[in-house]
A = this chain, B = another copy of it.
Amino acid sequence: MDALVTTTLSPSPLHDILAPNSIAIVGASADPTKRGYKAMVGLIKDGFPGAIYPINPKADMILGVKAWPSIADLPSPADLALICTPAATVPGLLAECGKKGIKGAIVLASGFRETGPEGAKLEQALYDAAQAGGVRVIGPNTSGMFNLHKKVNLLALANIKPGGIGFISQSGNMLLALVLEAEHNGHVGFSTYVGPGNQTDIGFNDYLRYLGQDPNTRVATLYVEGFRNGRRFLRVAREVTRIKPVVVYKSGSTEQGRKAASSHTGALAGSYAMTVDVLRQAGVNVVQDSDEILPVAEGLGLLQQARGKRVAIVSDGGGQATIASDRIAEAGLELAELTAETRERLGAILFPQASLVNPVDVAGSSDAKPSLLADCLEIVAADPNVDSVFLVGMFGGYHVRFAEDLLGDEMRGAEAMIELARKKTDKPVVVYSLYAPVRPPALRRLHEAGLPVYSSIEHAVRVLAALGERGLHLAENPEKVLTPPVTPDKAVQALFVMAHNEDRDLFEFEAKAMLRAHGVSVPDEMVVHDADDLAEAVARFGDQPLAMKVVSKDILHKSDAGGVRLNIRGEDDLRGAYARILKSCRDYDPAAVIRGVLVTPMARKGTEVIIGVIRDPIFGPVLMFGLGGIFVEVLEDVAFRSIPLSRYDARTMVEQIKARKILRGVRGEPALDREALVDLLLKVSSIVEAYPELSELDLNPVISYEHGYAIVDARVIVNRAAVTLGEG
């Protein structure tokens, strides 16, 4: 059952700070209402074995521990300082920490960036002082930190059970909520908690790397209001998710929530749909509801992964088996198709009226012998078509429901389930019991042995889904090959420089030239500068219907300006259309500089898709894919991936959108060439990586066919800063 992979991460520089051997409490106090008192009490009560240095200029002793008047007076540098004093004192104190050689500091005070420009200035001063002195900073504006396995609890929260959940949360209340829930309904404790606060210095990515390495953490769990460096976070997450599960709840899934979040911490929140997609791409298990955080973290922490999505249900009541089946299908899981052998083996031990087809319904067979359910679990777990096993019903409550003397057999059943999960199968065994709220002995035993038991079918299914997602991610990305960038082309770089010098973005024909330079198939085209060039166009394109589009940096909305003519055939019509385009555009904007008219054959009809790239302020370059028109604009049915992509990423991108049925062919139409789209997505990813000069790219539409595609329009926005820096 222990599926922890022994991959190594580059070592975390936070180890000494988050697992400290000595702690200075700056602002330690004898006043029990103060944080500087509560933190001391916490350390002393929990039996922190290292040195505690209370710092208080007015006291000799605090809680029986010798106090020091200032940081400078400490007999030796502490690994960590907890700063409990007001915001204005913090920059000076961090400078002192630096001089003393203290490695890290937790700054509890609020009153920084989150309060406005004055606070932002103070936060900059804090950061500068910390950097100058080489002090790493947790916070400011943080609820604090604990590392229960190290007996360090600076949070003033008593009685938290140590265990395998590492938790990084921008909401202290969320920690409190999980702790209370775990105490009452859970069966796993916590390893390390940190409130990252404003993330001035240390951010989510650093904490995640630490949890990835922490041997006491079996699952890294994050409540995130905003990432500061999402791109770096994704890089770390890709590594950590290979070693242990990472669960993220990202708040601000709606416009209203984002407003509430930004008034809370001031972090840039980005688009929720994009955030979910790129986190999943990195192997993160994203939970959508806050009440799923603990159940999913517990289940992943205990069970780590399932091989796939095929679940076998064993139940003792049809109604709840139906509910479980509904939720399984809705979660994108599947009911495993049991082999004939499995059904035969089940049939041999169950009543004739039992249903041997998944969901297995024992139909009373276990009423007098609840341990029979363990036998059923063992049989379905041995089925090669099954990836995970789900017990649904009233196990644990048989001796309450039917007869007290069933308790012995129930306990035997629990032991058999534990034996199964520990020794006989590596497939996860998840239990839902309607008796879970009353914690009967057999369920308590399962708890103790590390088998997760849930009181909600919905939560149990979320856990099964998370286990399957993680397993598939690990399996399908054994050595996740990210597409490498192309080698930049000099001529393309020159296009960017020219566009920059002319204070414009790339023309459509230039954007297409960029694609063509890197082997992307782009329709033939020519730019006509003069009516006399039209004869050449006719010679080149023959009798095909042609499209004509004005080329001008001054005309952004070409159609509005009359700058586009479609389905033109023959030289006469071409000449007429050319003249009309020039006239319309001049009427539209007499000052517009017109560079010519692009002539290209009309693309055949097909299905429009859109491929776009933006540079997100949080996550950096991100690729978007969707079907054209209303699918993007009305239904927002799009998929995102962080660049660079693997082929798996590109494939799942195409399969993720709701309109995927259209790509697979509907109403008798043939399936579209999805593999060609996957190639194009990968190529775009590798081009974008090679050109920092490119800020945004839009291929809209790309027309997809049964074989291949046609890029009908291409738009590239120039990243002026990158060109100026000579990076191009």
Contacts and interface: CB of A to CB of B under 8 A. Distances in A.
Interface stretch (A455-463, A474-482, A491-499, A644-652): A455-463
A383 to B, nearest CB: 17
A38 to B, nearest CB: 10
B254 A171 contact: no
A289 interface: yes
Contact of A223 (B319, B328, B357): B319
Contact of A291 (B318, B330, B403, B456): B456
A521 interface: no
Contacts of A662: 630, 634
B174 A319 contact: yes
B633 A264 contact: no
Contact of A330 (B223, B254, B359, B459): B254
Q: Which of A254, A457, A659 has the most CB of B within 10 A?
A: A254
A63 interface: no
B659 A458 contact: no
B317 A171 contact: yes
B633 A667 contact: yes
Contacts of A261: 318, 322
A264 B322 contact: yes
Contact of A434 (B173, B256, B434): B173
A330 B253 contact: yes
B173 A225 contact: no
A263 B326 contact: no
Contact of A183 (B318, B438, B455): B438
A154 B353 CA distance: 25
B257 A323 contact: yes
B355 A322 contact: no
A556 interface: no
Contacts of A257: 322-323, 325-326, 329
A320 B261 CA distance: 9
A211 to B, nearest CB: 20
Nearest to A176: B434
Interface in A312-357: 316-323, 325-330, 335, 353, 355, 357
Contact of A359 (B253, B255, B260, B353): B260
Interface in A637-659: 658-659
Contacts of A355: 263
A99 to B, nearest CB: 33
Given A252-B322, A320-B177, A437 B401 contact: no
A361 interface: yes
A329 B264 contact: no
B184 A437 contact: yes
B291 A180 contact: no
Contacts of A253: 326, 330
B265 A172 contact: no
Contacts of A397: 176, 180
Nearest to A289: B458
A33 B169 CA distance: 52
Contacts of A401: 176
Nearest to A255: B329
Contacts of A255: 329
Contact of A173 (B172, B317, B458, B459): B317
A185 interface: yes
A291 B459 contact: yes
A388 to B, nearest CB: 16
Contact of A630 (B172, B251, B666): B666
Contacts of A335: 256
Contacts of A289: 327, 458
- If over half of A's interface residues share one DSSP class (helix, strand or loop), that class is named, otherwise mixed; here it is helix
A148 B434 CA distance: 22
A411 interface: no
B290 A458 contact: yes
Interface string A355-375: 101010100000000000000
A419 B635 CA distance: 46
Contact of A437 (B171, B174, B185, B330): B185
A453 to B, nearest CB: 13
Contacts of A115: 353
A39 interface: no
A173 B319 contact: yes
A327 B288 CA distance: 10
Contacts of A658: 635
A357 B260 CA distance: 9
A394 interface: yes
A171 B256 CA distance: 39
A394 B176 contact: yes
A326 B224 CA distance: 14
Nearest to A250: B326
A170 B291 contact: no
Interface string A378-396: 0000000000000001100
A561 to B, nearest CB: 16
A58 interface: no
Contacts of A185: 437
Contacts of A223: 319
A728 to B, nearest CB: 35
A679 interface: no
Nearest to A659: B634
A661 interface: yes
Interface string A658-696: 110110001100000000000000000000000000000
13 contacts: A169-B319, A180-B397, A180-B437, A180-B438, A184-B437, A251-B322, A252-B322, A254-B326, A254-B330, A255-B329, A256-B328, A256-B329, A290-B458
Given A115-B353, A185-B437, 20 more contacts: A171-B319, A171-B322, A172-B317, A173-B320, A180-B397, A181-B437, A251-B322, A251-B326, A253-B326, A253-B330, A257-B323, A260-B322, A261-B322, A263-B318, A263-B361, A290-B456, A291-B459, A630-B662, A633-B667, A634-B662
What are the nearest 10 A-B pairs in CB distance?
A171-B319, A264-B318, A257-B326, A254-B329, A177-B434, A173-B317, A184-B437, A291-B456, A260-B325, A260-B322
